[in-house]
Amino acid sequence: MIINFKNGFTLIELLVTISIIAIVTSIGVANLLTAQKQARDTARKEIINHVQSAFEQYYAEYGEYPATDYGAAFESGTEPLDPKDSAPYTITWEVTADEYCVCATLESGTGNASLPTGTSCNWSTSDIYYCGQNKQ
């Protein structure tokens, strides 16, 4: 009587298992990178909204925007930085006593403006920039 025990896995079974693990891992990494970009873009939009609030409060108190010292509008004395803070992801500032435009470059393409020229935000549609401008 011959007993034939089959121990272990075949090469095909191992290759199929490794392939499935690789596919699931690559999908997970792609989703993680997308989520990180969206989180940084949300932070950028919040920064722009906070900058607008700071500038409007400064305007309410002094009757003009802080054209020469942006930091004066913020309690800490320094303007906020982009979450990534490396080119091209920076926050750009154009401020005069009468108006301002603050823009951030987005990573996921959900912006509200094209790159402004001067202190007036150009509000034509674009997927790259998110801007805020004076409310006065």
Strand pairing category for 91-95 and 129-133: unpaired
Q: By CB neighbour count within 10 A (0-12 exposed, 13-18 middle, 19+ buried), where does 125 fall?
A: exposed
Dist CA 54 CA 95 (whole Å): 13
Q: Say if residue 117's pLDDT is above 60.
A: no
Inside any domain, residue 4: no
Check residue 25 and give its pLDDT.
95
Inside any domain, residue 25: yes
Inside any domain, residue 26: yes
CA quadruple 120, 123, 127, 131: dihedral sign: positive
Inside any domain, residue 102: yes
Domain that holds residue 95: 11-133
Inside any domain, residue 121: yes
Inside any domain, residue 15: yes
Q: What phi and psi values does residue 92 have, to the nearest 5 degrees?
A: -100, 145
List, in sequence order, every beta strand (DSSP E) within the chain.
91-95, 100-105, 129-133
Q: What is the pTM of this model?
A: 0.75
Dist CA 121 CA 103 (whole Å): 9
Inside any domain, residue 1: no
Per-chain mean pLDDT for the chain: 83
Inside any domain, residue 61: yes
**Closest C-alpha to 58, from 13, 89, 95:** 95
Label residue 132 by pLDDT band (50, 70, 90): confident
Count the domains in the chain: 1
In whole angstroms, how far apart are CA 63 and each of 39, 48, 51, 103?
A: 35, 21, 17, 23
